[in-house]
Amino acid sequence: MAGLADLTLAAEDYQPSLGLYDRMLSLVPDQRDALLGKAKALSYLDRPNEALPLLDRLAALGQWYLVDTYYWRAWNRFSLDSVEPARADIERAKQYRKDAEVLTLSGQIAIEQGRLDDARADLETAVRSTDRACDAAFHLGRVHVAETRWPLTAVTFGRAARCYRTAAEELASERERIRQDPAVPEDRRGRVVAQYAARVAAAQRQAASSAFNAALGYTNADALNDAETQAQQASAHPDFAERAGALLTRIQARR
């Protein structure tokens, strides 16, 4: 049962995975794999108040899965604006692992608390560690904005925009693979395809947001050709068409 539950979670079919983990916990209430798996599924379903007691129990049990326990507890606490407890948890997680996922959340928490030096250090390390650290690049751009470092703002948000566009393309490709796979049960196909569609839309919006912010950075740095390129990319998204259009008008007026 544990293998099936974990496979269902890994396939991003979160709601059915909850039932499988509940069956495991009904047999062994403190089964760590089930506690963590259920907590992660609830986190992805945006149900932090239900995830946190499971993570509290894992922390109390100790010894195993501590980095995941502290990371996901920080993630859920931060989503509830419980910032200082989230910081305490992410600092514990960093004692065990400092990958892009952990450092990105640590950087976000540091931004929220106004600790820009700490945020920059974490996010720069995350960005250096992988080309797929889209969120780390986006939040590092926020740090540069706060510090009015316009050339760095532009370059960093430009990197984030490229990263999100690539992510959107890959997610769209996987969505189509699942849609056309006859081995995927029909009920599961509908749920997962809908989830992927939402993730594609979110990545596309983040790409446009990043491009718009890059355009602002280039504009403030007087690099108007680069600003125009980024603003044009942002204008293709309906949420940014009006703002990017206004920025393009400003750019043309400065030439």
Residue 55 lies in a domain: no
Residue range 222-240: mean pLDDT, rounded: 97
Residue 222 lies in a domain: yes
Residue 13 lies in a domain: no
Q: What is the mean pLDDT of the chain?
A: 94
Task: Identify the domain containing residue 223 by its residue range.
Answer: 148-255
Residue 68 lies in a domain: no
Residue 60 lies in a domain: no
Residue 197 lies in a domain: yes
Residue 93 phi, psi dihedral angles, 5° rounding: -60, -40
pLDDT digits (tens, 9 = 90+) for 140-189: 999 999 999 999 999 999 999 999 999 999 999 999 998 898 888 888 88
* Confidence band of 2 (pLDDT split at 50, 70, 90): low
- pLDDT attached to residue 167: 98
Residue 7 lies in a domain: no
- pLDDT attached to residue 183: 84
Residue 174 lies in a domain: yes
What kind and span of H or E run contains 109?
helix 100-112
Q: CA-CA distances (angstroms) from residue 135 to 9, 104, 138, 161?
A: 22, 7, 5, 10
What is the tally of structural domains in the chain? 1
- pLDDT attached to residue 4: 77
* Confidence band of 3 (pLDDT split at 50, 70, 90): low
